[in-house]
Amino acid sequence: MVESNKIESYFYLPIQKKMATLYQACSSSSSTPLLLAKRVFSLASSPHSFTSGYKIPRHCSSFRAFSSASTSICIDLKELRSNELVDLEYAELNIMHKISEEVGHVRIRQHVNPLSSSFSKPAPVPVWDEVYKDPSLPLMVDIGSGSGRFLLWLANKNAGSTNYLGLEIRQKLVKRANFWVDELGLSNVHFIFANAMVSFEQLITSYPGPLEIVSILCPDPHFKKRHQKRRVVQKPLVNSILQNLKPGGKIFVQSDVLDVAQDMRDQLDEESNVLQHMDDTVETEEDGWLMGNPMGIRTEREIHAEFEGARIYRRLYQKRQLT
């Protein structure tokens, strides 16, 4: 625990010890277990200074501080790397050191070609009542779920009310994510090694419950014009999402690459007879992009991009109710 009267010495801890001390402090907070780490991350990502109960020393003007009844913490933004901010954001999952011997340390290619023949076979449909405790619950699908921590956090928060399904084209990430599911003892989240462009329809039409939310968050950009056909948001996938999404269901898309975000926006805006942008219920910039992430937690890519000073372009749509 980092006491406020020891804050000066905490400034000079090596970053590894500082992270461990911070994590221990967050774990020991009985009133807000591990929420402290998330709040510290929010402060660290914010352009605004924050203090509580004391002033940040003059020689530490780049620090952010947080204080609760039991804990006071100060973070040096110049020392923290973006991957450490990710660990802070997801600290309450406590999976930083949960790595199976079978999976080991995961190194993956950042981008793959979904049009490759190796990804052309549809993923097998799981036995849903073996995957989820209650397969009749509303389903959220995250297309391109990456490491899976985004869905794990949501599943942990909403156990018993929503099921979560991650579709990811990089098999090692799926393997590790499902290992984490078992380690956390969650029965409302599952990850499938799948190319959403060929597997989404078959998987979702077989699910017993309603499709409530689909998210596509920072998908592979495939910058070259001749490679843009590899982008996941294509007309067939959009049609499949709209056909299976329940009335009132939502589609959330975002990217730190404006061209990719605009491409997704244009395709979904074209479906205005079926979809409406929810700019009347969430804060929106003048140019139509959402001001913040409405899901309650940011994705890892989102954290890395904002750490580097990039803007995140977000849109949230809702399927119109039947009349």
- How far is the C-alpha of 41 from the C-alpha of 241, rounded, in Å? 33
Selection from 111, 140, 176 nearest residue 252 by Cα: 140
- How far is the C-alpha of 59 from the C-alpha of 62, rounded, in Å? 8
279 classed as catalytic: no
Q: Which amino acid, residue 298?
A: R
Of the candidates 220, 256, 263, 269, the residue annotated as catalytic is: 220
* Apex 291 CA angle, 289 and 293, nearest 5: 100
Q: In the numeric block, which tokens belong to residue 223?
A: 């910058």
Q: Which amino acid, residue 274?
A: V
From residue 51, give the alpha-carbon distance in Å to each of 10, 19, 56, 70, 120: 16, 20, 7, 15, 53
* Apex 86 CA angle, 82 and 88, nearest 5: 115
- Using only the alpha carbons of the chain, give its radius of gyration: 21
- Give how far the C-alpha of residue 191 lies from the chain's centroid of Cα atoms, to the nearest Å: 14
Whether 276 and 317 have beta carbons less than 8 Å apart is answered as yes
**Residue 66 phi/psi, 5° resolution?**
-145, 140
CA dihedral sign of residues 175, 148, 204, 233: negative
CA dihedral sign of residues 57, 40, 261, 288: negative
Count of CB atoms situated within 10 Å of the CB of 157: 12
Give the residue numbers marked as catalytic: 220
